[in-house]
Amino acid sequence: MKEIDRSKPVLVTGGAGYIASWVIQYLLEEGISVRATVRSKTDSKKISHLQKLSDRFPGKLELFEADLLKEGSFQNAIQDRGGVELIIHTASPFFIDGVKNAQKELVDPALQGTTNVLNSANKSPSVKRIVLTSSVAAVFGDNVDSESVPGRLMTEEHWNTTSSLTHQPYPYSKTVAEREAWKIAQSQNQWDLLTINPSFVMGPSLSERADGTSVNFMQSMVNGKFASGVPDMMIGFVDVRDVARAHVLAGFTPNAKGRHIVSAETLTFLDAAKVIREKYGKRFPTPKSALPKFLTYLIGPFFGLSWPYISRNVGVSFQLDNSYSKKDLGLSYRPISETFVEHIQQLISAKMVPEKKV
């Protein structure tokens, strides 16, 4: 049980990120001072939304430069002026397409970054708790993994054992990073570790960056890319604001512990398209059918889907158990229909999706 002093600053790594930005806003709204690490304080395109938050909450947000791959680069942000008691470590790359070197692009930043931050915490006597952004990708790698689980219901007890550098490298990177975090946590007794394991994070962004995986997915659902049909795939969805709230609750709920699957609903791509159509009607060329598996094998590679990935995920259902996040953190979930609508509205405002009726 760790009681965190709310009068002391909280460190949020990866401060310019999708989830971290909401975490920072929620902390500031609760009157808590925040230290946020960013790669560069001069990259105004990536941090302009943080500067706006700083203007809204004068003297409450301080930016520090840090590099996941540079040992000790988080030390100053952790130890400066009496140090922090709570670290929320969100910094880790998230992209699935176009990976050329999985070790260098995904595994090294995730694993070394986590090791770097946790080792720095070990040198800082002020630290009492660390909340790590992991993923349901560290719970299971492919949908077919659920076939050996009663009711195909994935829980925090399960670990991804099927991903590798060559198959599902992103889930692999999240798994090795979380496993190492627990290993480091268990080797000391100064601070405790909690992990947040979200499913596919959707919803409005505080930044204006348009290069995220979530944005790409939503654009594909409404811009006609899948108009002829979507793969018969199932995925867990969750609102970015619920994920951010989970991090804050994990930080400040003294009795909270362990891993937390954070997911609102498990839907097929076709179900997701129906949710969009219920709100927008014929305004967008949303998919109306699922592709047969054999057709997915034919066209999948054009969408970056390998044959092993298709065979282990297409047409395979599963469920995610979010009951522990509700019980341990007191987390409640907003309807995913609300999430989708607000995400699309932001894309419309930014002129990133077609506005003409189809």
Spatial separation of the C-alpha atoms in residues 30 and 289, rounded to whole Å: 45
Question: What structural domains and CATH numbers belong to the chain?
Answer: 10-349 (3.40.50.720)
- The residue among 349 and 329 whose pLDDT is bigger is 329
pLDDT for 9 beyond 70:
yes
| pLDDT at residue number 358 | 44
Question: Which DSSP string corresponds to 20-61?
Answer: HHHHHHHHHHTT--EEEEES-TT-HHHHHHHHHHHHHSTTTE
Question: Is 174 noted as a catalytic residue in this protein?
Answer: yes
| pLDDT at residue number 252 | 97
**Per-residue model confidence as pLDDT tens digits over 98-121:** 677 888 888 888 888 899 999 999
Cβ–Cβ < 8 Å for 132, 196? yes
For residues 12, 13, 15 and 18, what is the CA-based torsion angle, rounded to 10 degrees? -100
| pLDDT at residue number 357 | 53
Q: Choosing from 104, 174, 274, 327, which is the catalytic residue?
A: 174
Which of 43-57, 62-76, 90-104, 326-340 comes out lowest in average pLDDT?
90-104
pLDDT for 297 beyond 90:
no
Which of 84-98, 122-136, 244-258, 333-347 comes out lowest in average pLDDT?
84-98
